[in-house]
Amino acid sequence: MLLSVDRSDRDSTRSLSFEIIAAVAEREGVDPTEIEPPEYEALYEVLDPEALDALFAPRQNGAERASGRVEFRYCGYDVTVTDGGEVSIEN
């Protein structure tokens, strides 16, 4: 099963790392604030959330970043984040 979150429709104050947590929370049927240790793995133990947010954020000069994607395992899910801001999780 695949879950995608399109960041173009989201609240612009929410970070990409929060979108990952929100996607896992939705899949788990819990509130995003419940995705925390000890029940769930901490995102920062898998990757640096600030670095991930910065990787896909617009450059300060407004230029677009090169295309790409990041894939990792988090809370038992295979997570893929694309340069377009899409977060996909699969079992």
Find the domain containing 22 and state its range. Answer: 2-90
Given a cut of 70, the residues of the chain with pLDDT beneath it are 1-13
Residue 39 exposed, middle or buried by CB count within 10 Å (0-12, 13-18, 19+): exposed
Model-level pTM greater than 0.85?
Answer: no
pLDDT in tens, 19-32: 999 999 999 999 99
Per-residue confidence (pLDDT) for residue 4, from 0 to 100:
46
How far CA 6 is from CA of 40, 61, 73, in Å, comes to 24, 24, 20
Q: Which two tokens stand for residue 40?
A: 């769930």
Per-residue confidence (pLDDT) for residue 38, from 0 to 100:
95
Q: Report helix, strand and coil shares of the chain as percent, to nearest 5.
A: 35, 20, 45
CB 16 within 8 A of CB 81: yes
